[in-house]
Copies of this chain bind each other. A is one copy, B any other.
Amino acid sequence: MTSASDLASLAALLADETRAAMCLALLDGRAWTAGELARHAGVAPSTATEHLHRLIDGGLLVERRQGRHRYVQLAGPSVAHLIEDLSAQTAPRPVAARGLRAVTASAALRRGRTCYDHLAGRLGVAVTDGMTRAGLLDQSGGFAITPAGLAWLTGTLGLNPQELRPGKRPLARGCLDWTERRQHLAGLAGAKLCETLLDNGWVARIGSGRAVRLTPSGKAALSDLLGPSDID
C-alpha cells in the first residue's frame, strides 16, 4: 500500500510556505523567472532553486530555459485546479490588509481576477450567474454548458467549435471561488471565454498581476448579451 507515500509526497510539495507562495503566484497562469519567484516569496535565489527543483520533479511545474533565464509555469489546468481546490478548503480568513495600497489591491482582486486561465472573483461569479439565468449554463443538476450555451459560445461569441471539443479537459467545470465561496465557470469553455473577453477589450488586466476589471464597453456588451446585472 504505497499509494499513501505517493499522496504524502505530493502533499509535501505544497506543505512548505515558500513553495505554497510560489504556486499561488503561478496561479496567474503566466511563466515566472526563478528570481522573480525568489523575491516574491522572500527567500534567497539559492533557496528558490532548490524549491523549484522539487516542484518540477514532482510534476507540478514545467520549466522553459531561455538564455540566462529559467521560466517556470504550472504544469497544466489540473494542477491549477488542485491548488485552487486546496485553497478553497482553507478556512475563510478575515482580510486584515494593512495600508491603503494593500487594501485597494485586495479589493481589486476580490472584484475580478483570473484564476489560471479563466475569470474569478465577483466578475467571474457574475458572468457565471448571468449565463445560468440566460439558460446557457445548467447549475441545477450539476455543472454543464447547455446546448443553447454551446450555440451562444460558437455563434454569438464566435468561438471556434473545434477548440471547444472536450478532450482530456472537460468543457465546463465549476471552480470554487475562494473569495466569493461560489462556483464560477472553469474548464475549456471558461478559458476560451476569458480569452475572448480579453481579446475584445471587454475585460482588461490591471497592472501586471492577476487583477482584472470590466471595461465600459465590456459592461455594455455583457449586459447586452446576458441581460442587466450588477457587475461593477
Which chain A residues have a beta carbon within 8 Å of chain B's beta carbons?
1-21, 23-24, 41, 59, 78-79, 81-83, 85-87, 89-91, 93, 138, 140-147, 149-150, 166, 170-174, 187
Contacts and interface: CB of A to CB of B under 8 A. Distances in A.
Describe A's contact surface by its main secondary structure: helix
From A15, A21, A145, A174, residue with most partner B Cβ within 10 Å: A15
A143 B140 contact: no
Nearest to A144: B142
Contacts of A5: 17, 20
27 contacts: A2-B93, A3-B87, A4-B21, A4-B41, A6-B90, A7-B14, A7-B83, A7-B87, A8-B19, A8-B20, A10-B89, A11-B13, A11-B14, A11-B20, A14-B15, A78-B89, A81-B85, A82-B85, A82-B89, A138-B141, A140-B166, A140-B171, A141-B146, A141-B171, A142-B145, A142-B171, A142-B173
Contact of A15 (B12, B59, B147, B166): B12
A89 B14 CA distance: 13
B86 A82 contact: yes
A13 to B, nearest CB: 8
Contact of A141 (B3, B11, B87, B144): B144
A174 B6 CA distance: 22
Nearest to A138: B144
Contacts of A83: 7
A128 to B, nearest CB: 12
A170 B166 CA distance: 22
Nearest to A12: B15
Contacts of A140: 144, 166, 171
Given A6-B90, A7-B24, A143-B170, A15 B15 contact: yes
